[in-house]
Amino acid sequence: MVTVMHIGEVAARTELSLRSLRHWEEVGLLRPSGRTDGGFRLYTEDDVDKILVIRRMKPLGFTLEAMGAVMDDLEVLRGSDADDASRAAARDRLRQVSVEAEERRTALARQLDMADEFLELLSRQTR
């Protein structure tokens, strides 16, 4: 049996706002696995895993389109109906995203280093 969760539980587990989850659905980035008879969104563990991928990309400044492309490529690799050429193309695109993510992470680390230097300067000046 598949365990399902309402949006509030998913928001709490992923540390995201309800607004973000709803927005991602509106723009087609992520769809909940189902809805109740009353129209409430229902999410599965697989949905939560997808949300966490998106959440990890967000601080790196990827666009919604880029996040959507990554999600599509991950689906190709997870699916059993994709042909070898489609899988190879998805892997190549994900490798490119990985390189870009590493570059963005390096830039963020540099910014954090500068922030630490600034905090140290302030600390010395206020002693």
The CA distances from residue 119 to 57, 110, 113, in Å, are 27, 14, 10
pLDDT of residue 71: 95
pLDDT of residue 110: 97
Stretch 3-23: mean pLDDT: 95
In the chain, what are the domains?
Answer: 1-60 (1.10.1660.10), 61-127 (no CATH)
Beta bridge partners of 35: 41
Copy the structure tokens of residue 78.
């997870």
Which pTM was predicted? 0.84
Mean pLDDT, rounded, of the chain: 95
pLDDT tens figures, 70-126 = 999 999 999 889 999 999 999 999 999 999 999 999 999 999 999 999 999 999 999
pLDDT of residue 13: 95
Contact 41, 77 (CB under 8 A): no
